[in-house]
């Protein structure tokens, strides 16, 4: 409807033909279908996203809590498991320590599933790479 200039009422006789063409799909861009060989990789990538979003939210929660408590930044990225040791103990309050420990435990819990999905992506995506490295 944004493509039609002026009023957008569906009962107007001036815009009625344009609206009819738009509703039939005449103004939508043509869709392209992915080749059959790439569909499996695309589907695995789509399965990866629901695993990555909560992980990213949990990883972002720890630095935000540091800022809220006015603690200095650790200077390391928590995405690496080696940098997560002792992070929860930096907070002075026991409730915040527990909340951070639970977040870190959830990150570790889903890591094996995520690793399996990413390994599948690497093995299938390398078959489609036009210039292997």
Mean pLDDT, residues 110-116 taken together: 86
Residues 53 and 98 in one domain: yes
Q: Are 104 and 87 in contact (CB under 8 A)?
A: yes
Please give the torsion angle defined by the CA atoms of residues 85, 62, 97 and 72, in that order, rounded to the nearest 10 degrees: 80
Domain range for 112:
34-128
Closest by alpha carbon to 42, among 124, 99, 131?
124
Residues 2 and 50 in one domain: no
Residues 55 and 103 in one domain: yes
- Residue 133 within any structural domain of the chain: no
Element (H, E) at 123: helix 94-128
Residues 48 and 16 in one domain: no
Residues 69 and 23 in one domain: no
Residues 21 and 67 in one domain: no
pLDDT of residue 5: 60
Bigger pLDDT: 106 vs 78: 106
Please name the residues in contact with 54: beta carbons below 8 A apart, sequence gap of 6 or more: 106, 110
Residues 38 and 71 in one domain: yes
Residues 1 and 65 in one domain: no
Residue 129 has pLDDT above 80, yes or no: no
Residues 15 and 41 in one domain: no
Residues 76 and 41 in one domain: yes
pLDDT of residue 6: 60
Residues 42 and 15 in one domain: no
Bigger pLDDT: 13 vs 98: 98
pLDDT in tens, 57-80: 988 888 888 778 778 777 777 777
pLDDT in tens, 30-56: 667 878 878 888 888 888 888 889 888
Residues 68 and 94 in one domain: yes
Number of domains in the chain: 2
- Residue 62 within any structural domain of the chain: yes
Read off the pTM.
0.59
Residue 128 has pLDDT above 70, yes or no: no
């Amino acid at each position: 409807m944004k493509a039609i200039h002026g009023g957008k009422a569906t009962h107007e006789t001036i815009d009625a033909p344009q609206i009819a063409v738009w509703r039939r799909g005449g103004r939508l861009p043509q869709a392209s279908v992915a080749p059959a060989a790439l569909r499996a990789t695309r589907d695995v990538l789509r399965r990866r996203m629901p695993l990555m979003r909560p992980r990213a939210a949990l990883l972002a929660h720890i630095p935000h809590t540091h800022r809220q408590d006015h603690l200095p930044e650790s200077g390391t990225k928590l995405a690496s498991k080696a940098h997560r040791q002792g992070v929860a103990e930096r907070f002075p309050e026991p409730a915040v320590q527990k909340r951070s420990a639970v977040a870190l435990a959830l990150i570790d819990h889903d890591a094996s599933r995520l690793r399996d999905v990413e390994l599948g992506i690497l093995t299938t995506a390398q078959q489609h790479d036009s210039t292997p490295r």
